[in-house]
Structure 1
Amino acid sequence: MKMTGNTVLITGGSAGIGLELAKRLLEIGNEVIICGRSEARLAEAKQQLPNIHTKQCDVADRSQREALYEWALKEYPNLNVLVNNAGIQKEIDFKKGTEDLFVDGDEIELNFQAPVHLSALFTPHLMKQPEAAIVQVTSGLAFNPLAVYPVYCATKAALHSFSLTLRHQLRDTSVEVIEMAPPMVDTGLNQKSRDKQGLTYRGISSEEYVQYFLDGLKEGKQEITNERVEGLRDATRADYDRLFEHMNTQEN
């Protein structure tokens, strides 16, 4: 993926990794559009980054995804990069049945259905661009899950798998498929659960991870994690079982 001269659409771009990525892409010479559910957060992002373009949209809603696609192609016909970043993370205890499952949003719809649908919508357009990319934001938990976040981890594992197959399907086109698999990053993602668990380590900063991601892009990497996640990704089966038990010990 080229580093400058792109027109980039970032979902969930009004905070956290999405906003930091938008900021850095603007700084190095790209046109950036962010979308998000909250008009207030989008306004704050616009105040912080006056050159950014914003669009209110809830990508958990199928009709709004379709409307976003139509709007983006009309307003930005040279759009050549889609970043599927929007997502939620919920603590779910299946011993309670369905009590936690659909409170505060549907993880399967937002974390998996939305990026798959948006990828399908935009791919034919992106294939017409000389250079294009789809960036899927997964997680280190795609490779080894935390049981306290069962659906979140499953959606990120599914998105990782989808990224592999989409990359294969588009291998002879102008569209790169790049996976962004961050470790724990200190953002507002599921802050209530982090506070509840009394976590003292809140992860690396958005600035640190986005710099790592941009360095990976310069090197031409298609799957960009960091050293912490690489240990999970590259684990053998024996390592995987050991890591799973270690990661989930506090819950038992």
Structure 2
Amino acid sequence: MNLSTQRILVTGGTSGVGRALAEHLTARGAQVVTCGRTAEPDARTVRADLAVPGEAARVVALAAAELGGLDLVVANAGVQYPTPLTAGPDPRVLALARQEIEVNLASVVELAAAAWPHLVAAPDAAFVAVTSGLAYAPKQSAPVYCATKGAVHVLLEALRHQARRETPGVRVQEIVLPLVDTAMTAGREGPARKLSAGQAAEAVLRGIERERDVVAVGASRALLALLRVAPPVGRRILRDG
């Protein structure tokens, strides 16, 4: 895929990895529309809360109208909160958990359904979603986040099967990120050094260009390899992350 000629939607593109992706793509010559909850709206930036049903579809419609179609959609938006569940029902914790489910999983489903007619019409198209090493080896402090990312991993695998059968011109790719230095991960440490948002974005774009089904970035490559040969060790490493 030649990214310099693509019409691209990046969700969660006003901060962190999404912003770096949008900046790198724009620098290459791509036409990019982004969205974010606190975005300053303009022709290429949509203010949207993807926790609200219908917002993902609205963003797709606006992006396609602005760009004259879509060649690539990157479902990058995500939120993560500590969600202790063993102490009983805490309304605040449950509200945060629902937000994680809506943003991290439900909006990806809606985004795919809304984007597909536009992607099918493009000569070279892809639907890409961002997961995490935590989709494969969860940590104890964020069970709902890990569950949503695991669900997106499975969603993408099934969607890839559908696409190959029904719409073979549209690729489905998964980006497996390690810990990246963003506002969401402030104060958090892991077994490997954090990547910068720019480093992560460059790795993501290389994977998209090479059209790989699963693009494991940074330390995620080592984690997935470890999980293949010694699953208990890999899970133990991330359990208390």
CA contact (8 A) 1:88 1:190 kept: no
* Distance apart, 1:158 and its partner CA: 0.7
Which residue pairs with 2:207 in the alignment? 216
Q: Could you tell me whether the CA contact under 8 Å between 2:163 and 2:170 is conserved in 1? A: yes
- Residue 36 of structure 2 is matched in structure 1 by 36
C-alpha offsets along residues 98-152 of structure 1, whole Å, 9 cap, x if unaligned?
A: 3222138611111000001110111122111111111101111111111111011
Correspondent of 1:66 among 57, 73, 84: 57
SS in 1 for 2:73: strand
SS in 2 for 1:141: helix
Q: Which runs of 5+ in 2 are unaligned?
A: none
8 Å CA contact retained: 2:74, 2:130: yes
SS in 2 for 1:181: strand
Question: What is the TM-score normalised by the length of structure 1?
Answer: 0.85
* Closer/same/farther in 2, CA of residues 4 and 199 from structure 1, 3 Å limit: closer
Q: 2:235 aligns with which of 228, 237, 244?
A: 244
> Which residue pairs with 1:187 in the alignment?
182
Residues in 1 aligned to 2:66 and 2:134: alpha-carbon distance in whole angstroms: 36
Report the counterpart of residue 231 of structure 1 in structure 2.
222
Work out whether residues 232 and 240 of structure 1, in 8 Å CA contact, stay in contact via their aligned partners in 2. no
The RMSD of aligned alpha carbons is 2.4
Shift of 1:222: 2.3
Q: Describe the shift of the 1:53–1:211 C-alpha distance in structure 2 as closer, same or farther (beyond 3 A).
A: same
Cα distance in 1 between the residues matched to 2:2 and 2:162: 21
Which residue in the other structure is 1:2 paired with?
2
Say yes or no: does 1:78 pair with 2:85.
no
Structure 1 unaligned residues grouped into runs of 5+: 47-51
Q: Output the CA distance in 1 between the equivalents of 2:17 and 2:228.
A: 31
Number of matched pairs: 237
Give distance in 2, aligned partners of 1:72 and 1:211. 23
Change over 3 Å in CA distance of 1:102–1:202 after alignment to 2: farther
The alignment partner of 1:8 has SS state of: strand
